[in-house]
Amino acid sequence: MFIDARTLPNDTVVDSDICIIGGGAAGITLAKEFTGKSYRVCILESGGLELDSTTQSLADGKNVGLPYFALTRASTRYLGGNTNRWGSWCTPFDDMDFEYRPWVPYSGWPFTKRELVPYYERAQAICKLRSLDYYDPTRVVEDIGNPEVQVLPLLGNKIVTKMWQFHLPAMSFGQAYKSEIERANNIDTYLHATVVDIEANNTVQAVRRVRVASLSGNKFWVASRIFILAMGGIENPRLLLASNKIQSAGLGNQNDLVGRFFMEHPHLYGSGKILFTNPEHYPVLYTTESQGRYSAQAGLCPSRELQEQEKILNYIGCLTPSSDVWAKTSMSDEFSEHISAIVNDFGYLANRVVRKLSNKPNYVRPRRMVLDIITKSEQAPNPDSRITLSRERDRLGVNRAQLNWRLTSLDKRTILRMQQAIGMELGRADLGRLKIELSEDDSWPVPLSEGGPFAGGWHQMGTTRMHIDPKQGVVDQNCRIHGISNLYIAGSSVFPTGGFANPTLTLLALTIRLADHLNAKYFPT
Amino acid sequence: MKRRNLLVLFSLSAIIPGLTSSWLYRGGSASSDKEIEGKLLKLFSEMKSPKVIGAEYLRSFPGQVDSKVLLARICSSCEGGARSLTQMDARALREWIHERQRKDFEEGRIIKLQGWILSATEVQLCALATLHS
């Protein structure tokens, strides 16, 4: 049932067994897992069924670090959350993303990828994707069955091909699962219900109830056996920090970890150009064109060996026909035109075509294929990259979030080293030449908002990270906040590391795992 | 050559780039150098672009502003030495260069010019074009 929280009388107390705070991808997935059970569930969603600017303004905050999207746009406050505007990019994390890597400080999850595999399979179904084996590029190419669609013949011990799957048009969870949740007898969804405080008991070992407010001015309480925060990588830590009546540092923050380790996937829309010289291997599978045609797209990643050897993070580069208007017929700068000229004198075309054509009177130099590289890179966990509270408060009296996004030299070096490795592999495989369009120092290019290539990926991770040791993590391996018996977190804020992969599929897998854990622990059949 | 002198030479070549390969190459005559150089430069379809790229390369590697040094580097991996290149026809020579380019990338002999990741062989060929009168 859907309930408009604006109609509830002041100080109403809603009783529940499980209270899910947030109606986005994680919240809706939890609700689906709990549907039809014998216990009562309530979802508290700040927004309604559609975007509303007044509600959205509650997400406004301050950005004091690297250029980032306005916080009013970083999260989406209506049923479905950020799935109302995502692109359906889905791929699981790599095995190595879960491992401790000595060159990546704070790396390592409390379990391996193997633990999540059965949950990834279930997450695939929720996202209406194909099976997990469709992340094997060989399998994808076989299925497509078009000889023009190939995996690039690169050396697997350096550069590997990884796949995304898509369900297009991208699915809003709010629209796709609204009816199912509305019909569920044991689930009440309160819309226009913003949690403004979490009230713990005096010893802060359990949550008693949460205070909920609507923009109409009324306030009520929700008491529950279990509470799950599912509001995303900015709002989860914000609410914990703001719930500071008993523990002044905020709930779960006894070791000053809440809000720290904010991670994104630094995106560069044009970190380099590829002059592709081998038409037999044009990388259509690696371009955005492939999404619509095949519901799949490939990218270029470092192998495990390369990551270990070069001590770099994970990364993916995908390709797009160059946005540079000159690249259709020429390169954008004179020096690049000269490179383009000489490469074809010795490469594929020289050996197969030029010899035949160059003696003919009407010979025209073959057209080049120029591609831009779109980089999406892992960010190293950095405790100084963080969410804190601003002194400003929103209309409901909650301190706004303040984001200080920071990157390290390892983040930049990863991208530079990968560009070089891809360039070397393209040359070795006689596919073309790569131009790095990135400075060699630690600075980052002009942000997208100012016409440059640099931006985040709309992926907010790590701010309530997972670790078995409460001195190193906010939640334990079951996503329960250390020290608080009945408060859990679902979503990408629990990620200890972020890989290169878009977080949705992995956060859904973790969420399903959490649902199974709660069912087994609290409601065994 | 005495072993001791060879060791001294290799030590010096670490300080003076190109010394070793150019000394070892000195077996060729001036006319065979010209012949090899001519054959290599004929592989380019035009000379303007190689000269520009070669000039950029030589600005970064002034120690190689010498055709002999460049030829020695380009020919260093050729079985039978530089002389065998003079016996190749244009097609065989182009294929040899092509394979050398691939090996450069495989073995890390790359040169970065204005962001471009290039094979050492291809830029050294361009440098040869730059020095060619």
User: Pick the residue with more confidence: B75 or A179?
Assistant: A179
Verify whether the Cβ–Cβ distance B117 to A434 is below 8 Å: yes
Q: To the nearest whole angstrom, how far is the Cα of A418 from the nearest Cα of chain B?
A: 12
Closest residue of chain A to B108, computed from CA coordinates: A424
User: Pick the residue with more confidence: B9 or A268?
Assistant: A268
List, for residues A80-129, the tens digit of each pLDDT value: 999 999 999 999 999 999 999 999 999 999 999 999 999 999 999 999 99
Q: Which of A229, A254, A246, A191 has the alpha carbon at shortest distance from A51?
A: A191
User: Residue A514's pLDDT band (boundaries 50, 70, 90)?
Assistant: very high
List, for residues A409-446, the tens digit of each pLDDT value: 999 999 999 999 999 999 999 999 999 999 999 899 99
Q: Tell me if chain B has a CB within 8 Å of the CB of A353.
A: no
Verify whether the Cβ–Cβ distance B106 to A428 is below 8 Å: yes
Residue A503's SS3 state is coil
Which residues have CB under 8 Å from A32's CB, separation 6+?
A126, A177, A180, A181
Q: Which of A28, A117, A171 has the alpha carbon at shortest distance from A506?
A: A117
Closest residue of chain A to B41, computed from CA coordinates: A345
* pLDDT score for A110: 98
Nearest-by-Cβ selection for B102 from A342, A428, A433 = A428
Q: Are A392 and A238 in contact (CB under 8 A)?
A: no
Q: To the nearest whole angstrom, how far is the Cα of B116 from the nearest Cα of chain A?
A: 4
* pLDDT score for B48: 94
Q: To the nearest whole angstrom, how far is the Cα of B5 from the nearest Cα of chain A?
A: 37
Q: To the nearest whole angstrom, how far is the Cα of A476 from the nearest Cα of chain B?
A: 45
Nearest-by-Cβ selection for B43 from A346, A430, A435 = A346
d(CA A82, CA A76): 5
d(CA A501, CA A258): 23
* Test mutation, B117, B119, B123, chain A, max A CBs within 10 A: B117
Q: Which of A170, A162, A174 has the alpha carbon at shortest distance from A81?
A: A174
Q: Tell me if chain B has a CB within 8 Å of the CB of A433.
A: yes
Q: To the nearest whole angstrom, how far is the Cα of A440 from the nearest Cα of chain B?
A: 10
The number of C-beta contacts closer than 8 angstroms across A and B is 90
pLDDT over 90 percentage in chain A? 87
Residue with tokens 């003079």: B86
Q: Which phi and psi (to 5°) does residue A105 adopt?
A: -60, 145
* pLDDT score for A332: 67
CA pseudo-torsion sign A441, A422, B105, A427: negative
Q: Are A197 and A399 in contact (CB under 8 A)?
A: no
In eight-state DSSP terms, residue A483 is T
Residues of A in contact with B108 (CB under 8 A): 424
Q: Tell me if chain B has a CB within 8 Å of the CB of A324.
A: no
* pLDDT score for B76: 82
Decide if pLDDT at A354 tops 50: no
* pLDDT score for A367: 45
Question: Can you say how many angstroms the Cα of residue B45 is from the centroid of all Cα atoms in its chain?
Answer: 19
Q: Tell me if chain B has a CB within 8 Å of the CB of A346.
A: yes
List, for residues A232-256, the tens digit of each pLDDT value: 999 999 999 999 999 999 999 999 9
User: Residue A324's pLDDT band (boundaries 50, 70, 90)?
Assistant: low
pLDDT (average), residues A328-340:
76
Q: Tell me if chain B has a CB within 8 Å of the CB of A427.
A: yes
Q: To the nearest whole angstrom, how far is the Cα of B12 from the nearest Cα of chain A?
A: 31
Residues of A in contact with B102 (CB under 8 A): 427-428, 430
List, for residues A13-44, the tens digit of each pLDDT value: 999 999 999 999 999 999 999 999 999 999 99
Q: Tell me if chain B has a CB within 8 Å of the CB of A423.
A: yes
Q: Which of A124, A26, A41 has the alpha carbon at shortest distance from A82?
A: A26
* pLDDT score for A288: 87
User: Pick the residue with more confidence: A289 or A201?
Assistant: A201
d(CA A420, CA A48): 48
Decide if pLDDT at A306 tops 70: yes
Of A213-217, A334-338, A341-345, A348-352, the least confident:
A348-352
User: Residue A345's pLDDT band (boundaries 50, 70, 90)?
Assistant: confident
Q: Tell me if chain B has a CB within 8 Å of the CB of A357.
A: no
- Per residue of chain B (133 residues), give pLDDT as tens: 444 444 444 444 444 444 444 434 444 566 778 888 888 898 898 999 999 999 999 999 998 889 888 988 888 877 776 677 778 888 888 889 989 999 999 999 999 999 999 999 999 999 999 998 6
Residues of B in contact with A434 (CB under 8 A): 116-117
Amino acid at A83: T
**ipTM higher than the 0.90 cut:** no
* A131-135, A324-328, B96-100: which is most confident: A131-135
Amino acid at A73: R
Which residues have CB under 8 Å from B41's CB, separation 6+?
B47, B50, B125, B128, B129, B132
Verify whether the Cβ–Cβ distance A434 to B94 is below 8 Å: no
Residues of B in contact with A437 (CB under 8 A): 115
3-state helix, strand, coil in chain B (%, to 5): 70, 5, 25
Q: Are strands A187-191 and A2-4 parallel, antiparallel or unpaired?
A: parallel
B→A interface, C-beta within 8 Å: 43-46, 48-50, 52-53, 56, 91, 94-95, 97-98, 101-102, 104-106, 108, 110, 112-119, 122, 126
* pLDDT score for A155: 78
Q: Which phi and psi (to 5°) does residue B15 adopt?
A: -90, -40
Closest residue of chain B to A431, computed from CA coordinates: B102
Decide if pLDDT at A62 tops 60: yes
Q: To the nearest whole angstrom, how far is the Cα of B55 from the nearest Cα of chain A?
A: 11
Verify whether the Cβ–Cβ distance A428 to B122 is below 8 Å: no
Q: Which of A496, A26, A351, A112 has the alpha carbon at shortest distance from B94?
A: A351
* Test mutation, A276, A330, A334, A338, chain B, max B CBs within 10 A: A338
pLDDT (average), residues A195-204:
96
How would you list the strands of the sheet with A386-393, edge to edge? A62-63, A399-404, A386-393
d(CA A149, CA A298): 11
Closest residue of chain A to B51, computed from CA coordinates: A338
Amino acid at A496: P
List, for residues A389-403, the tens digit of each pLDDT value: 999 999 999 999 999
Question: Can you say how many angstroms the Cα of residue A392 is from the centroid of all Cα atoms in its chain?
Answer: 28
* pLDDT score for B23: 39
* Test mutation, A268, A271, A277, A345, chain B, max B CBs within 10 A: A345
Verify whether the Cβ–Cβ distance B102 to A434 is below 8 Å: no
What's the CA angle centered on A73, arms A499 and A292, to 5 degrees?
60
CA–CA distances in Å: residue B99 to residues A43, A163, B128: 64, 31, 19
